[in-house]
Amino acid sequence: MRTEKSGAVIYYKHLKILEDASLNFEQMGRIFYAVLKYDETGVIPKLDRTLLPFFTMIKYDLDACLQKYNRTVEARREAGKMGGRPPKVPNALDEPGISNIQMEAKNNGYIIDKVQAQRFKDRLPEREWLQSPYSFLELAAERIKELYSNKSEQEQKRLFISAVLTWDDLREEYLEWKNKKEVQAKEAEKAEMLKMAKSNYPKACSCGNILQERSGQFICKDCALLCELNEKTLEWEWRDWE
């Protein structure tokens, strides 16, 4: 078990998407089983190609929930070391702890001690700058690897620490960089959802006839009906075949 959590958060929107895709109960059950096992163990399960995109969609939300849960646990652990609960201030449980900062640095290729983590925390203007995804540490690591890949690991680490603490031009760039990353992530998610919707095309008309595919549209000649994907709603819609 990779966390102390007792369950996974699955939203109603997930069920609606599976229903809209006309999956049967067996397929839904396999997806939800895979979701729970992944959330418990961290191991991505083996699924049919037709089911894997649905799992990937839910995994994105699971990972976000796990990050939030881990931040909460760490905040409570730090508060316990201080002898009690943290003060009840807005978003107190979102405050990144020292070990979280160390983990974020490690995830981006650099191991730092608690003293350096505290310096990062004291130096950066907003706590959100230290939180993944798209933390300031990620940008600093990205820039060091772009500019100094020929340097030794020790020198790269020194430059990474210097970039986090002193590179003002990097700070000026950060918010624009983060916004660009978030836009790219949303576009990738939309593209994945569109791909998934296209793969779940209708196989037959309500009359029972197998549909004929023509340039991404599906036609029933007997009923004179055409079915095509609405890329805004990601739903297959029927209309008269003209």
Q: What is the pLDDT of residues 78-93, one digit of tens each?
A: 655 555 444 444 444 3
pLDDT of residue 115: 92
Query: Which residue carries 């003293």 as its tokens?
Result: 115
Q: Residue 108 CB: number of other CB atoms within 10 A?
A: 18
Residue 240 DSSP SS3: strand
Average the pLDDT over 120-149 and give the result. 91
Q: Residue 207 CB: number of other CB atoms within 10 A?
A: 9
Spatial distance between the Cα atoms of 111 and 106, rounded to a whole number of angstroms: 5
Would you place residue 101 in the very low, low, confident or very high pLDDT band (cuts 50, 70, 90)?
very high
Q: What is the pLDDT of residues 203-242, one digit of tens each?
A: 888 888 899 888 888 999 888 899 999 888 888 898 888 6
Residue 233 DSSP SS3: coil
Q: pLDDT at residue 198 above 90?
A: no
Spatial distance between the Cα atoms of 61 and 58, rounded to a whole number of angstroms: 5
pTM, entire model = 0.52
* 227 neighbors 212 (Cβ within 8 angstroms): no
Give the percent of the chain with pLDDT over 70. 86
